[in-house]
Amino acid sequence: MLATHVRQTASVLLESAIRIAPPDTRDWGRAIRGEMDQVDGSWAAALWAFGGTSVMVKEALVSLVVPGRRTQSMVPDGGLFAKSASLRKGALLVSGACMLVALLFFAAPPFRQAFRVAMRPWSFMYQASSGNLQPGIEALARRAEAQHDPAGMAFCAVRMRDAKESARLAEEAVRLDPHLLWVYAILALRDPGLPEVGRWVDKLKAWDPQNGLLPLITAESIVRGRLPRGDWSPPKPEQERAWRAAMTAAFQAPRIDDYLDRFAELNRKVVPRYRFYDPYEVESRWEAGLPDATAESCERFAMLLLRSGKEFEARGDFVGARREYWTVARFGQMIDAQAHTDFEHRNGAYLQSLAYQPLKALAEKEGRSEEAALLGYLAEKFNPLKGANGNLAGGSAFGHFTSHRNAAVVEVAGLMILVFSGLAGVALSILIAGSVRGAWPAAQRAKPLATLVALASTVGLLFSSVTLYLTYRPYWYIFQGAIRNGDLDQARDLHEFLISTQMLPGLSPHFSRTLLEALIYSGSPSFLFYVWAGVTLLGVSGLALILLRRFRGRPHASPP
C-alpha cells in the first residue's frame, strides 16, 4: 500500500518536473515516465522516477543560466505559473499571507528590537561615518532637559561620550535632585582628568565618607593629571605622596561601592518612562564599573604593601608584615564582594591571590599549620591562572561561542529580511505593471516569473523573520529582566551578544580570535557570516541576471 503511494507520488513529482523543464528536454522526461511503467516493483519504479526528476530539474536550472538556452526558461510561456491562472492566484495568495505574517512580526516589541539589533552593524558604521555615535542619547537628553527631569539627565550623562556635555548634564541633574550625587563618581571614574573631579569628590566624600571608591578616584585624577597626553614621566615626589595617601585611604576604607546598583535603579526608572529600549545604551553597566587604570593603580599599591610586608618580615616584625598582607587581602575581598562586572570580580580575586600566598608562608613560618592550610587553599582558589574562581558576576548559560553564533544568525536574518523585502517589492511592482491596461509587453511576459519570485521571496521573508524572532527572544527576556529588577542572570550572554553585533563579524574587537576560529573550523561566526553573505550575493546576482535576460533576451512578439 505504502509502496503504491510512493510510486504515485514519484510519478506526480516527475510529471511536475517535466512541466518546468525546457521544451527541448521534455520528450526525454516523457521517455523516462514511459519507461517507469516497465519497471518491476513500486519502490524500484519510484527510484526510477526520482532519478528522472533530478535530470529534469537539473535541465531546468541549467536553462536559467546557460546563455545559449534562453528560450528554454524554467518558467516558459507555457510554464508552471503561465499555464494555470488559478495556480498563479494561489501563489499570490500564499505570498500575500507570508508578507502579512512577516509584517505582523513588527507588532511584537521583541521583534522590533531584534530588527534594530540586526541592523546595528550598518547603523553603527553610518553613525561613525557621520560623527554622531549617540543620536538616541542626545535626543533623550534634550527631552529630559525640556521636561526638567533629573533622572533622565543623569541617565544620559553617565552614557554620553562627550565629556563636557556629560559633566554639564550631570551637574544640572544633581542640582535638581541632590540624591543623584553618585552620578559624579561614575563620570569621574570614566574621565578622572575632568577639571570638575576635585570638586565632585569633595561633595561625594561629604555625602558617602566611608566609600573607598572616592580616594581611588582622587588617586586616578593624580595619575591622569601627571599624564595629560598619555606620555609617561616619572612622578614628582609630592604627586607620589598624594597618590600613596589616596591609595592608603582607599585600601583602609571600610567598604567600596561602585554605585552600579543605583545605576540599575536609574535604568528601571528612566527606560520605561521614555520607552528607550536601546539595549546597547541601556545595558552599559559593564562599562561603568572600575576601569583598567584603577585596577593598575590597585595592583601597583598592593605590590608596594606586599614589599613593605616582606621588609617587616625580614626585620622579624611578623605582626607588621601580616598587617600589610591582610590590608591587600581585605581590599581584594571588598572589591570582589561588591563586584558588578567580570572585571571587578577578577581584579578582587587577583588582589586576594597576591596576598594569600605570603600570608600562607608567614603562617607556616610561625608554625600555625591549620591557618597555613586554609590560606593555601584560598591562594589556590583565587589564583587567576587556575581559573578556579568561576563565580563571575553576571551568569552565562549560553557560553561565548553560542552568543557569537547567535549574533551572526541575527545579523544574517536581518540582512535577508531586507533582501527578500526588496525582491518581493520588485516582483509585486512587475505584477502590478503587467496587470494594468496598456502594460509593457515585457512586464506582461515577466508575470509568471514575477509570481515565482514573489512567492519565493515572501516565503524567504517569513522564514528570516521567524529565525530573527526566535534567535533574539532569549536576549529580549534577559534585557527585560535587567531593566525590571536589575537581574544580572545571563547578563554576560547579553553583553557578549551585543558586542558581537556591534560591528560586522570579522571587524569586531575579537577580530583576530574570530578570524583564527574561522580558519581553524568552519563553525566560526565570521565564517558563517561570510558564507551567508556570499550565498546571498550570488543568489541576488543570479536573480538579477535572470530578470535581465527575461527583459532583454525574450523574443518581442509572442505567438498567438
Binding site for other proteins (CB under 8 A): 25, 27-28, 30-35, 37-39, 47-52, 54-55, 58
Smallest gap from Cβ 60 to other proteins, in A, equals: 13
Bridge partners of 255, per DSSP, are 211
Residue 34 vs 559, nearer CB to other proteins: 34
The CA-based dihedral angle spanning residues 472, 478, 484, 487, taken in that order and rounded to the nearest 10 degrees: -170
Smallest gap from Cβ 35 to other proteins, in A, equals: 4
Smallest Cα–Cα separation from 150: which of 113, 126, 179? 179
Smallest gap from Cβ 545 to other proteins, in A, equals: 24
Residue 45 vs 546, nearer CB to other proteins: 45
Residue 51 vs 553, nearer CB to other proteins: 51
Smallest Cα–Cα separation from 159: which of 137, 188, 180, 191? 137
Residue 24 vs 162, nearer CB to other proteins: 24
Enumerate residues 6+ apart whose C-beta is below 8 A from 178.
Answer: none
Smallest gap from Cβ 55 to other proteins, in A, equals: 5
Phi and psi at 507, nearest 5°, equal -110, 5
Residue 49 vs 362, nearer CB to other proteins: 49
Smallest gap from Cβ 58 to other proteins, in A, equals: 8
Smallest Cα–Cα separation from 7: which of 54, 45, 64, 52? 45
String of b and e for 503-534 (b: at least 16 CB within 10 Å)? bbbbebebeeebbebbeeeeebbbbbbbebee
For residues 433 and 330, give the distance between their C-alpha atoms in angstroms, rounded to a whole number.
77
Residue 12 vs 519, nearer CB to other proteins: 12
Smallest gap from Cβ 53 to other proteins, in A, equals: 8
Residue 25 vs 353, nearer CB to other proteins: 25
Smallest gap from Cβ 24 to other proteins, in A, equals: 10
The CA-based dihedral angle spanning residues 184, 264, 489, 210, taken in that order and rounded to the nearest 10 degrees: 50
3-state per-residue secondary structure call for 360-376: HHHHHHCCCHHHHHHHH
Residue 27 vs 240, nearer CB to other proteins: 27
Smallest gap from Cβ 8 to other proteins, in A, equals: 16
Inter-residue contact 357 to 385 (CB < 8 Å): no
